[in-house]
Amino acid sequence: MTIELTLLACTLLLALFQIMLTAALRTRETGTDYNTGPRDTEGPPVGVLTGRMQRAQKNLFETLPLFIAAVLIVAIAQRESTLSLLGCWMYLLARIAYLPLYAAGVPVVRSLTWLVSVAGLLLVIAATFFTPA
């Protein structure tokens, strides 16, 4: 397995962690009745931290499908290179850093971290075009 695919697997573990963390925070705030029920309604309002974690999770899920596709294209087309490797590391590390920054409410650095993750994604995509087969 390539390093890029390993980093993709690590990113999926991060996504699972964010899902579980957000669910645990919400359950702690709203109780198990809502969480185990049919959730037909919006549910009780959540606190600041849980709201931030929900938004951070949503933010990850906006670019995660693109990252998955880009890494799979690089792997299938055998276009792994320094460019794709750097891009994967940038995406993963920026997404890891993004979570505590969002939780702490750090505004500008959080946005710059998001830009680093997008730049990493763009590098992986670029590797499909600029890495010789």
Given a contact cutoff of 8 angstroms between Cβ atoms, the answer to whether 85 and 4 are in contact is yes
Across the range 78-99, mean pLDDT stands at 98
Q: Where are the domains of the chain?
A: 3-38+47-130
Across the range 70-84, mean pLDDT stands at 98
Q: Is 128 exposed, middle or buried (0-12, 13-18, 19+ CB in 10 A)?
A: middle
Report residue 10 as tokens: 């690590």
For residue 49, pLDDT over 90 is answered with yes
Assigned fold of 3-38+47-130:
Four Helix Bundle (Hemerythrin (Met), subunit A) (1.20.120)
Q: How confident is the model at residue 43 (pLDDT cuts 50, 70, 90)?
A: confident
Given a contact cutoff of 8 angstroms between Cβ atoms, the answer to whether 54 and 20 are in contact is no
The CA-based dihedral angle spanning residues 84, 89, 92, 97, taken in that order and rounded to the nearest 10 degrees:
-140
pTM (two decimals): 0.95
pLDDT tens, position by position, 21-39? 999 999 999 888 887 888 8
Across the range 81-90, mean pLDDT stands at 99
Q: What mean pLDDT, rounded, does the chain reach? A: 96
CA distance between the termini of the chain: 18
Across the range 42-60, mean pLDDT stands at 95
Across the range 88-108, mean pLDDT stands at 98
For residue 1, pLDDT over 90 is answered with yes
